Amino acid sequence: MSRDRDAIPVTILSGSLGAGKTTLLNHLLAGAGDRDIAVLVNDMGDINVDADLVSGNTDLAVDGGVAELSNGCICCELRDDLETAVVRLARERGFDHLVVEASGISEPRPVARLFTTGSQAAARYDVASVVSVVDARQFHDAFGDEGVAARRGTGDDDTRPLSDLLVEGVEFANLVVLNKTDLVTPDELDAVEEMVRALRPDAEVVRTEHSRVDPGVVLERRYDPATADEAGWKRALEGDDHDDDHAHDHDDHDDDHAHDHDDHDDHDDHAHPEAVYGVTSFTYRRRRPFHPARLRSLLADLPPAVVRSKGTCWIATGADCSYTMGQAGPSVRVEVAGPWIASLPEFEQDAYRRNRSNLEWDEEWGDRRTELVFIGRGMDDDALIAALDDCLLTDDEMAADWDGFGNAFPTEAGEELVVTEP
């Protein structure tokens, strides 16, 4: 990977409220040794409690205290303030490493993007690592035994379910600090780690109590922009054939529940050979659209064993567009991604296909298809596949007017349907 060694390394620290981020940050500051560490702390309340807790452990400050970004989420409303603060820090202070602690309602991806996409901050900083602190008890209660991750927080902008934040924080991290391990049994802890590894196969996982971890491990340079977004679901969709300890591919096989339609694709089962606690995944691929009403009904009642699913859907809505489905625990959302390439004028199709050599193209349907990855614990794969296949259009429905299916999904790019939410 290419790194600018003159740039200041930055560690992005994320995790849900109460997971132990601030405790970890204080351990880093106390054990920094010869390193001069700058910190930016964001809290979601009117009073920046985290900054107060941290400010006593560092003498590097802005305006007399730790640079505080209050009343919002640094990856959303306060993004401009974050960029201003980090550029000002680099210009006015000398230090060896920057740590940005995101609030408990933030995901780390937009924060990392600030430092990697041509901004003033990107010119001065180099992302060293993205760390997610996971409360093992909370994570197990949310996903380990068919639990429910409810929304937490006190701010008006706290609109996303905790399950989304827990999953997406893990999926983007290259170091997961599995904290509060003393609050779960050994079997529960192993089950949580197995799920974490399914969500982010290449992340390093460190087990801790009270966030005690070697500062060098957290501050180590391990971030690679080329592999920063290799979540388990995305790796499965891309047909990852890496030979690692956590996943392997089975041969594709025909599915008995496919209505005997010749235009169905096979489904791939990406199972975990050492999935002692039943954490497995599979990829569902089809070249036939879903009936909108039947699909919505299924998504509203997914088995609790499904922890994470995500991918592209072809839905017979009457609008020739692709949809992105994302589910984490009890939260299911479907968003309009944009038009299918096959729906564009022929000259635009040709241009797209020339620029995308790996684009899978069907002579009849073009790029229209469904590709969904399901990750869960103790899933009944065959039953779920059969239920999904039952949502596909029948031959008679394929020939019917799709506008008459009673569509409830949005049809404009960027619009989102919240199917279920805790």
* Rounded distance between C-alpha atoms, residue 368 and residue 342, angstroms: 7
Beta bridge partners of 324: 312, 335
Using only the alpha carbons of the chain, give its radius of gyration: 23
Give pLDDT tens digits for 367-381: 999 999 999 888 999
| 360 falls within a domain | yes
% pLDDT > 70, the chain: 75
From 79-83, 132-136, 310-314, the region with the lowest mean pLDDT: 79-83
CATH number at residue 168: 3.40.50.300
**Span of 19-23, 210-214, 256-260 with lowest mean pLDDT:** 256-260
Please list the alpha-helical segments (H only) found in 35-161: 49-55, 79-92, 108-114, 120-124, 136-139
| Structure-model confidence comparison of residues 181 and 15, the more confident one | 181
100 has a pLDDT exceeding 80: yes
DSSP assigned state of 88: H
247: closest CA among 209, 199, 206? 199
Where among 205, 230, 255 does a domain terminate? 230
Q: Mean pLDDT throughout 60-67? A: 46
CATH (domain of 294): 3.30.1220.10
Least confident of 238-247, 329-338, 340-349: 238-247
Whether 147 maps to a domain, the answer reads: yes
Q: What is the mean pLDDT of residues 133-162?
A: 63
Range of the domain at 368: 236-420
Question: Is the same domain home to 214 and 270?
Answer: no
- For residue 135 the two structure tokens come to 């409360």
Is residue 1 in a domain?
no
User: How many structural domains are present in the chain?
Assistant: 2
- In the chain, % of residues over pLDDT 90: 39
Do residue 290 and residue 388 come from a single domain?
A: yes
pLDDT band, residue 325 (cuts 50/70/90): very high
pLDDT of residue 16: 84
| Average pLDDT for 305-322 | 92
Note whether residue 3 is domain-resident.
no
Domain boundary among 182, 205, 230: 230
Does residue 224 sit in the same domain as residue 241? no
Q: 197 and 213 share a domain? A: yes
Is pLDDT above 90 for 211? Answer: yes
Nearest to 375 by CA among 175, 231, 221, 206: 231
- In sequence order, which residues have a C-beta less than 8 Å from that of residue 18 and are 6 or more positions away? 104, 135, 138
Tokens describing residue 89: 């820090």
Q: Write down which residue in 210, 230, 250 finishes a domain.
A: 230
Burial of residue 422 (number of CB atoms within 10 Å: 0-12, 13-18, 19+): middle
Does residue 129 or residue 147 have the better pLDDT? 129
Q: Across 213-276, where does the E strand assignment appear?
A: 248-249, 270-271
Residue the block writes with tokens 């009642």: 301
Q: Could you give the C-alpha distances from 53 to 30, 35, 50, 65, in angstroms and in order?
A: 13, 20, 5, 11
What is the average per-residue pLDDT within 289-313? Answer: 94
